[in-house]
Each structure stands twice: as C-alpha cells, then as structure tokens.
Amino acid sequence: MSRTLITGGAGFLGSHLCDRFLAEGHDVICMDNFITGNPDNVAHLIGHPGFDLIEHDVTNFIYVEGGLDYVLHFASPASPIDYLKYPIQTLKVGALGTHKALGLAKAKGARFLLASTSEVYGDPLEHPQRETYWGNVNPVGLRGVYDEAKRFAEAMAMAYHRYHGVETRIVRIFNTFGPRMRLDDGRALPTFMTQALTGEPLTVFGDGSQTRSFCYVNDLIDGIFRLLQSDVVEPVNIGNPDEITILDFAKEIIELTDSDSSITFEPLPADDPKIRQPDISKATDELGWTPKIDRREGLSRTLDYVRERLQDRADDESASEPTPAASS
C-alpha cells in the first residue's frame, strides 16, 4: 500500500486529491496550517482508516514518521485576494515550504510533485501557452509574490532532481473550479455565482475582454494523478483549453442561475493577465489526458454546491440573531 503526503491538503484542490488517493488505495497524510485551507473540506474523511490530518506550517521542518512513497506540495495561497493578503507567507511557502517538502521527499526516497501554476507565464505574449514559453512576469508587481514564488519552486524542484536525483514532477495548473471553492476567495466563478444567486450585480474588471480557460476539478485531479505516475520530469500544463472572455462568462452565469443581476465594471487590477489558455498537447501525448467534463456540466455541479453553502450561511446568520425578549 502506498503512503502519500499532501501539503495544503485541506484546500480546494488538496482535499480532492485526498479523496482520489484514498480511492486509489493509498494511505494519505493531509497537512495544512489552515491559513486558507478549511478543515470542513476533509471532515468527511475523519475516521477513515487510511487518513491522517496534521496541522502544520510547512515552512518549518516537516517530520513524518515512517515511510513515504509520494509527496505532493500543494500548500500555498492561490487566489489574488489571498496572496495579496498574505504576501510574505506566499513567498515563504513557495521557497521555504518547497525546500522543506523536497528535503522530506529526498530523505524518504519519495516521488515529489509540485503544484505550480499558469501564473508562471504572467501576462503572456504567447497564445496559447506552451510549457516551453518562459513567461512575461513583473517580479516587483503585486502579483509577483505568487508568480515568482512558483517560478522559484519550479527551479528548486529541478535542482533537487538534477543534483540529488529526487524524482520530481511539476504540474502547471490553469483555472480550475468545482465544489469546495471558498465563496469569498475573490476568483471569478464563486464571486459571479454568489452575486447572481443573491441578486447583486456581477463585478467584471476592465471591459471583460480578458480570457480564461476553466477546467472542472475532477478532470484536473485525474491529470495530476496521471502525471505523478508518469516519467515526465519537465513541467506539464493541465487545464481545459476551452477559452472564454470574462464578460461572456459573467453572462453565462446569469443565464445558468436565471438571475436578474446586472453587470458592473471596475478598473482592471495591475498585471492582470489579458489572455489565458493552455496548450495541452504535452498532457495529451505523454499522459493520455484530456478534459472530459465540459464547462456547462461543471458549472451545473458547482452551482449546486454554491447554493448549499449560501443556504448554510443564511442558516448560520439566522441562528446567531438574538432572540427577541418576551414581553411581560
């Protein structure tokens, strides 16, 4: 039986990875400091005989008793609202956290997989983006704390592979969505769905002509699992190349939710990428992977989750309201 450590395992992607690896028969150690992760994401796994949850900051030395076969490093704030709130922590987990996780993989003889990002391409001058593109990143801009943390992490992973012989894999993750996204994480999909369901205007930045390519979480997890089992050392894009403008995406959410919400426009944030679309030829050729769930189907599944979370929020607010005093 394989034993796998997933850092950031209580996050959106990390928790889905915990589910997948347990389903594949692995023992799973989920490690998280809960800055942006949520214990509720893995609450359904508590009591599973193959699952352990450890609260720990991976920028400090990581101790795990016993053997490990795989180390998946997913610990990091991952949305602009998070890494702008936690810039130093984002840089530290990309640098120190990656160093500690790689050191653990080396000590245990484990295969290491780094969660990198399409943000290493910055505001790209190549479209769609291939793994051979070196990117167009502003290292001192607001988004640089995330972009450069991931670029450094990739360099460190390759250094450990070349110098220490650690088996490393690097996945460059493009926009992903699905259940367990935080409604307040600032990303387009949960924000748009929340606004549409509560009757608020949908907030589009710039004129909405910037593009994104959205991949449903189940497809992404399958791509990551295939990459981990493969012999591919160089980075691999995993994402859905079905590109859409943010304005059209907002309109799609309004239609899907049958909402009366309007659309408002705000200034475009600094260094916000104008285009984003993965070239997944490498994933298709070397992993046999392509996304199976189209955006409409994925959105329908995610909408059910967002509705449930909004209802939970309303119930919590109702329960916290003070009870009117009885009249004498």
Residue 281: which CATH number? 3.40.50.720
Query: What is residue 43's predicted lDDT score, i.e. its pLDDT?
Result: 98
Answer yes or no: is 170 within a domain. Answer: yes
pTM of the predicted model, to two decimals? 0.95
Structure confidence at residue 270 (pLDDT): 85
34 assigned to some structural domain: yes
pLDDT of residue 327: 44
Q: Is residue 195 part of a domain?
A: no
Q: Tell me the CB-side half-sphere exposure of residue 287, using CA atoms within 13 A.
A: 29
| Residue 258 within a domain | no
Domain count of the chain?
Answer: 1
By residue range, what is the domain housing residue 156?
3-177+216-240+272-292
Measure the CA–CA gap between 25 and 48, rounded to whole angstroms: 12
Q: Would you give the DSSP letter of residue 96?
A: I
- Tokens for 264, please give them: 């408002």
146 catalytic? Reply is: yes
Query: 225: how many CB neighbours lie within 10 A of its CB?
Result: 19
Q: Could you give the C-alpha distances from 116 to 122, 153, 244, in angstroms and in order?
A: 13, 8, 22
Residue 255 lies in a domain: no
Domain contains 261: no
207 found inside a domain: no
Q: Evaluate whether residue 323 is within a structural domain.
A: no
Task: State the 10-residue block means of pLDDT for the chain, 328 residues long.
Answer: 97 98 98 97 98 98 97 96 95 98 98 98 97 97 96 98 98 97 93 97 96 97 98 98 97 97 94 94 98 97 96 83 56
Cβ atoms of 228 and 169 within 8 Å: the answer is yes
Q: Which of 70, 83, 86, 146 is catalytic?
A: 146
pLDDT confidence of residue 325: 55
Q: What is the pLDDT of residue 328?
A: 37
